[in-house]
Amino acid sequence: AMEGYRGFLGLLVSALLVGFLSVIFTLIWVLHYREGLGWDGTALEFNWHPVLVVTGFVFIQGIAIIVYRLPWTWKCSKLLMKSIHAGLNAVAAILAIISLVAVFDFHNARNIPNMYSLHSWVGLTAVILYILQLLLGFFVFLLPWAPLSLRALLMPIHVYSGLLVFGTVIAAVLMGVTEKLIFALKNPAYSTFPPEGVFTNTLGLLILVFGALIFWIVTRPQWKRPKEPNS
């Protein structure tokens, strides 16, 4: 049991480190390599998009996914843990929505077309599914009214769609990073390995590794929260 606990802690610390580093890299990207942050219809407003997505939709969502697995919370009530899971996902959803407002606002101010890229189709699909998942989870699992039979029926679907949306978000982020670098790196071009290209490729890899660590932690059956009788 002690071995399993140590293994869990090692992976948890690694995930937190890689996730935190992803957020820091995103900030360095927009503050050092790009124009910085602002809310004025220019690129400074667009730059909120990657910052809010990586902070909320990747990092906070990742933590929300594994929050039931923290062994020191196993004596906390299930209702408290569900509220933390729902609360973190709600914060991530709000940040994701603000991140969309930032891009649409920037596009409209600059007369750039909306929703033509594969990144935007996959990303918006992820946001819509995430909000549906949040509402479904709230009404079925958090509020006390749904019968146990409905909870039992929907739980495997909730777990599956949660991981599907998380994976879809990471796919959308990698496409977004790629298209931004191809748009922005013109002179010197992305194809000539400029520092911003190498740095931001590294950010993409960090996000992929964060996703891989969260997916590993959440798919180990031995690290599941012990199920209390009658729930």
Query: Which residue, 148 or 198, is less far from ligand ASC as judged by CB?
Result: 148
For ligand ASC, the closer CB: 32 or 151: 151
| Cβ-contact 105, 41 below 8 angstroms | yes
Contact 171, 161 (CB under 8 A): no
1 contributes a contact to ligand ASC by CB under 6 A: no
Binding ligand ASC (rule: CB under 6 A), the pick from 14, 21, 44, 78 is 78
Helix (H, G, I), strand (E, B), or coil: what is residue 18?
A: helix
d(CA 101, CA 104): 5
State the burial class of residue 208 (Cβ atoms within 10 Å of its Cβ: 0-12, 13-18, 19+): middle
Query: What's the min distance (Å) between Cβ of 148 and ligand ASC?
Result: 6
Least Å from the CB of residue 104 to ligand ASC: 36
Near ligand ASC in 133-152, by CB under 6 A:
141, 148, 151-152
Number of other CB atoms surrounding residue 167 within 10 Å: 14
Cα 207 to chain centroid, rounded: 9
Contacts of ligand ASC in 150-179 (CB under 6 A): 151-152, 155
* CA atoms of 96 and 155, how far apart (whole Å): 24
Are 151 and 140 spatial neighbours (Cβ–Cβ below 8 Å)? yes
DSSP letters for 26-74: HHHIIIIIS----SSSSHHHHTHHHHHIIIIIIIIHHHHHHGGG-GGGT
Q: Which is nearer to ligand ASC, 155 or 212 (CB)?
A: 155
Q: Considering the complex, state which of residue 69 and residue 107 has its C-beta at the smaller distance from ligand ASC.
A: 69
Q: For the window 84-123, what string marks contact with ligand ASC as x by the rule CB under 6 A?
A: ----------------------------------------
Q: Evaluate whether 203 touches 22 at the Cβ level (below 8 Å).
A: yes
Q: How far is the CB of 77 from ligand ASC (least distance, A)?
A: 10
Q: How far is the CB of 120 from ligand ASC (least distance, A)?
A: 34
Indicate the residue among 2 and 148 with the shorter CB distance to ligand ASC: 148
Residue 175 tokens, joined: 């496409």
Q: Supply the minimum distance, in Å, between the C-beta of residue 137 and ligand ASC.
A: 9
230 near ligand ASC (CB under 6 A): no
Kindly determine how many residues on this chain lie close enough to bind ligand ASC according to the rule CB under 6 A.
7
| Closest residue to bound ligand ASC by CB | 151
Q: Which residues bind ligand ASC (CB under 6 A)?
A: 78, 141, 148, 151-152, 155, 231
